[in-house]
Amino acid sequence: MLEVQNLHVAYGGIRALKGVSLSVQKGEIVTIIGANGAGKSTLLNTISGFLKPVRGSVLYNGSALPRRPDLIVKSGICHVPEGRLIFANLSVQDNLMLGAYLRNDKKAIQADLEKVFAIFPRLKEREEQRAGTLSGGEQQMLAMGRALMTNGEFILMDEPSLGLAPLLVQTVFEIIERFRSMGKTILLVEQNAFKALQVADRAYILEQGKIVKEGSARELARDPAVKEAYLGSRSRGGG
Ligand code: ATP
């Protein structure tokens, strides 16, 4: 469904991606694991058209993606950015409706809004509240709900569990699985490698702008080098 080919991206003289290739099949959850600064957000921002690659291409359902973020959203790819990027002064409902900004199927939009409220009852309760006053976890729910409002079939998720309490981290990963059961395909960037490898089908390890390893999530979760570098003490002692 998504094919990234030999992507090179630079910020001035800083080369952030150095020939990244990967693929995601329909219905999969694929995760990119990497340390701070490995290039994970750069990769997602390039796929969604916010950054222009120096070289390389991104194919979606076999065709090159247009290099414009709005057209990329229209083709069915939506991005839940790191830091959530919600509009603090707008209400919860208005933030959600912004997700549907490029759609004009009014009835389906209303039905999707109901669906989002069914998944996130907390957002329904706070429909009129200013989004900036939501807790961190609620803001993450809002960012995920807004992605559902685009009705995109492919979701790019950047560090959805960042800064959340353990119980909420669990909820976020349950919601990712729920998205999959709704037929969405997901490319997930996470520093919480332990959780990401539990939920994903396949994974890529990104180090300093290069993919250094790929495989099934199960294989990588057992790989001694991956355990040492990304899974820390949680996996030691046979986990
Ligand atoms: P994190 O997990 O910390 O969010 P990341 O893997 O998402 O990290 P990126 O944000 O993609 O990493 O950054 C990759 C590299 O590109 C880093 O060395 C970073 O300093 C650099 N970089 C990112 N954005 C810019 C920018 N706007 N200008 C210059 N350099 C940048």
The answer to whether residue 93 sits within a structural domain is yes
44, 45, 47, 49: CA torsion to nearest 10: 170
Atom 17 in ligand 1: which residue has the minimum CA distance?
37
Q: What is the pLDDT of residue 239?
A: 35
Q: What is the pLDDT of residue 169?
A: 87
The answer to whether residue 100 sits within a structural domain is yes
Atom 21 in ligand 1: which residue has the minimum CA distance?
16
Q: What is the pLDDT of residue 155?
A: 93
Q: What is the pLDDT of residue 86?
A: 83
To test the ligand 1 pocket, which listed residue (41, 50, 54, 84) has its Cβ within 8 A of the most ligand atoms?
Answer: 41
Atom of ligand 1 nearest to the CA of 158: 7
What does the chain look like in DSSP terms, one character per residue? -EEEEEEEEEETTEEEEEEEEEEE-TT-EEEEE--TTSSHHHHHHHHTTSS--SEEEEEETTEEPPS-HHHHHHTTEEEE-TT----TTSBHHHHHHHHTTT---HHHHHHHHHHHHHH-HHHHHTTTSBGGGS-HHHHHHHHHHHHHHTT-SEEEEE-TTTT--HHHHHHHHHHHHHHHHTT-EEEEEES-HHHHHHH-SEEEEEETTEEEEEEEHHHHHH-HHHIIIIIGGGGTTT-
Are 196 and 31 in contact by the 8 Å Cβ rule? The answer is yes
pLDDT single digits (tens) 143-158: 989 988 988 899 999 9
Distance 41 CA to ligand 1 centre (A): 7
The answer to whether residue 204 sits within a structural domain is no
What type of residue sits at position 213? K
The answer to whether residue 130 sits within a structural domain is yes
Distance 36 CA to ligand 1 centre (A): 8
pTM of the model: 0.89
pLDDT single digits (tens) 182-229: 899 999 998 889 899 999 999 999 999 999 999 999 999 999 988 888
Instruction: Domain of residue 121: give its range.
Output: 88-151
Centre a 10 Å sphere on the Cβ of residue 129 and count the other Cβ atoms it contains: 14
Q: What is the pLDDT of residue 109?
A: 93
The answer to whether residue 114 sits within a structural domain is yes
Query: 212 exposed, middle or buried (CB, 10 Å; 0-12, 13-18, 19+)?
Result: middle
Are 160 and 80 in contact by the 8 Å Cβ rule? The answer is yes
Atom of ligand 1 nearest to the CA of 82: 4
Ligand 1: which residues within 6 Å by Cβ? 11, 14, 16, 34, 36-42, 82, 191
Atom of ligand 1 nearest to the CA of 38: 6
Low-confidence ranges of the chain (pLDDT < 70): 233-239
Distance 37 CA to ligand 1 centre (A): 5
Q: Total structural domains in the chain?
A: 1
The answer to whether residue 115 sits within a structural domain is yes
Are 204 and 22 in contact by the 8 Å Cβ rule? The answer is yes
Are 144 and 170 in contact by the 8 Å Cβ rule? The answer is no
